[in-house]
Amino acid sequence: MIPRTLFSDEHEIFRATVGRLLDEECVPHHESWEEQGHIDRAAWLKAGEQGLLCPTVPEEYGGLGTDFLYNVVVDEEIARRGLSGIGWGLHSDIVAPYIVNYGSAEMKRRFLPKMISGEMIGAIAMTEPGAGSDLQGVKTTAVRDGDHYVINGSKTFITNGYLADLVIVVAKTDPAGGAKGTSLILVEAGTPGFSKGRKLKKVGMKAQDTSELFFEDVRVPCANLIGEEGMGFVYLMQELPQERLTVGISAVAGAEAILAQTVAYVKERKAFGKPVAAFQNSQFKLAEMDSELTAMRVFIDRCIELHLQGKLDVPTVAKSKLLSTDLQCKIIDECVQLHGGYGYMWEYPVARAWADARVQRIYAGTNEVMKVIISRALLG
């Protein structure tokens, strides 16, 4: 791989800190987390102690006030270790920015310090049984009643949903208003009428906390409204590019790690009396994968640079999400093949990575939706 120039010495010192915490506090427990369907709260608190959660949040609210590269470091190190159960990226890269960018001063003072410490786990509830990538199709309602909203509806496939202490709920405050009738409202765990369903059993990402959420006459203060009423869809469109970029970041880092493991494996594994790496097919496959990943790494790093400069546009980030996740799935599938039968065994990281990677082409907007975005930009 070509040298990367994005990161300073301070970023790399932080990377070492992240790596140590993950190796000591997460890697040894990931298998048990897969069995229980979520990571332990203790890991969240450890991450908070080390400054791994919400590092970009301004210092006045307890954050480090760093640039987005610190989030990138955390996302990459988690992906490289195959720790797909850890929902820190969604908490830091996706949930916190809504509060930082659109929340009231009181909302920031109330919630951000606990999100930074890991005492409060954040989630965002967009997807519903009948509405996924089509956010305008959301049916959950939030009806104004005096100085409260009354929320009714259900959500599904919610990352961090089972453990969540704080959920951003995408709801219709004006069902007849289309996109302009959508608002974002914070709901705390324990609020009467708010309940959590089962931990969903997924094909991959088995340690990731994914749950159904239900809202039955849930009353929350109007002060829990994020930003302005009816502006929810606009806020979602403004923040989704960062979410899609983080998907691409993890896709490339995860694929790079599996490719490196596969290179080591084929050097050791023998077939027909010689290492698998000695066969031209293996050499050509590895050369192709390494070349494609190098090109993708350059593109993703350029997208990160543009994002830091506030210049990353929606079609470009859609391209990054589309291409990186397609490539991730392609490369890991090839790596499974090079492992032979062992590549299909759950105890091998490549098998877990193969199962985990597939959803990358679905969430944060399906890759088909990415193609719609790109084509609209092309055709006008």
Enzyme catalytic residues: 243
Segment (H or E) for 217: strand 210-221
At residue 372's C-alpha, the angle toward residues 368 and 375, to 5°, is: 130
Encoded amino acid at 208, one letter: Q
Neighbours of 149 (CB within 10 A): 24
138 in Cβ contact with 126 (< 8 Å): yes
214 beta partners: 154, 195
Q: How many Å is the Cα radius of gyration of the chain?
A: 21
Q: Reduced to 3 states, what is the DSSP secondary structure of residue 298?
A: helix
Q: Reduced to 3 states, what is the DSSP secondary structure of residue 29?
A: helix
**Residue 43 tokens, joined:** 């890991």
**Residue 296 tokens, joined:** 């993708």
The Cα–Cα gap between 77 and 81 comes to 6
Q: Reduced to 3 states, what is the DSSP secondary structure of residue 327?
A: helix
Segment (H or E) for 155: strand 148-159
Strands 166-172 and 194-199: unpaired
The Cα–Cα gap between 142 and 215 comes to 10
The Cα–Cα gap between 75 and 83 comes to 10
CB burial of 167-187 (b: ≥16 within 10 Å; e: otherwise) equals: bbbbbbbbeeeeebbbbbbbb
DSSP code at position 202: -
- With tokens 């490289």, the residue in question is 80
The Cα–Cα gap between 213 and 197 comes to 6
